[in-house]
Homo-oligomer: A and B are copies of this chain.
Amino acid sequence: MLRSVALATFLSLAALPLWAQPETRLEELHGKKILLFTPHPDDDTFCCAGTLALMARGGNQIRIVIYTNDDKGSYDPEMTSEHLARIRMHEEEDACRILGIGKESISWLEYHDGMLEYANPRDLVEEVTRIIRKERPEVVLSIDPGSEYVRWHKTDHRMAANNTIDAIRAAEWHLYFPNQLLHEGLQPWLVPHEFYFYVTDKDANYWVNIDSVVEKKLDAAMAHVSQWEPSIHHYRPDWDKADLEKTKAEMRGHIPKKDGHYVEAFRTTTGFNQE
């Protein structure tokens, strides 16, 4: 398959970075449909919370689709997966609310934590293709299936990264999953802009200045109480004030900066890249 716009790329792979200049600035979008895919209900917060807050402020319609229910990551011996899934759902809703996104904007694909890799890959692409064709987003954000980064990407992250890209490609052509058009009336959709988070320094080519929303990002991160000490070891639903301040301070110190500003980094592309 060949998109003619991508002709240069097809013949000369070296040209790739050249045409990857984003014509769209996420932080300046207004009234657009934004679709974000995240492996777990915290990856979006840690990687994109600032950008999400800016896009929410811009009056964009944001839909967050979460692959897994994150029901494994607790050291608390009394915790069960069913309980943890419930906790993680509410924490994600809290985090999103802080960023200006209502819980009706969150969709859960309901896979279990650490088990996404074992889903049927064809069906998973079909499911996400359906979502893209329904939402018809101006922008998709997802986790980067980047080059060097592959060793960190096993299981949920790798599967989510590749799956979203595959679905973006399939969504564009009506002959993929044609029953979606026939039985559900879903037209194909070519995603205009893709931004990938969880990106290596080497691959990042786009940064969002989040100075104005960095406190919201910190608060959203803190809303994931059960992901942090001490709650990750002995679950409690709220923070002790001292713990909260200490954790927030530590996190603030680690938020990446560029030219003196807090940023979130992305790899963006507008062209031929799923071939």
A interface residues with partner B (beta carbon < 8 Å): 1-2, 4, 7-8, 10-14, 40, 42, 46, 69-75, 77, 79-86, 89, 108, 110, 113-115, 117-123, 144-152, 154-155, 157, 162, 165-166, 169-170, 173-180, 182-183, 188, 198-201, 224, 227-229, 232, 247, 250-251, 254-256, 273-275
Contact = CB atoms under 8 A, between A and B. Distances in A.
A151 B145 contact: yes
Contact of A85 (B121, B182, B199): B182
Nearest to A147: B148
A175 B162 CA distance: 26
Contacts of A229: 4
Contacts of A174: 75, 77
Instruction: Give this chain's copy count.
Output: 6
B182 A86 contact: yes
Given A81-B80, A89-B183, A154-B166, A114 B147 contact: no
A198 B11 CA distance: 8
B113 A1 contact: yes
B7 A176 contact: no
Given A14-B256, A73-B175, A110-B183, 8 more contacts: A4-B247, A12-B254, A71-B175, A108-B183, A118-B121, A147-B148, A151-B165, A151-B273
A154 B274 contact: yes
Contact of A176 (B72, B117, B166): B72
Most B C-beta atoms less than 10 A away, residue of A73, A120, A198: A73
B4 A228 contact: yes
B69 A183 contact: yes
Contacts of A12: 254-256
A73 B201 contact: no
Nearest to A190: B75
24 contacts: A1-B73, A1-B113, A2-B232, A7-B254, A8-B254, A10-B254, A12-B256, A13-B199, A13-B201, A71-B175, A72-B173, A80-B82, A82-B182, A108-B179, A108-B183, A113-B175, A115-B122, A117-B121, A118-B121, A144-B151, A147-B147, A147-B148, A147-B149, A152-B273
Contacts of A71: 175
Contacts of A275: 152, 157
Nearest to A198: B13
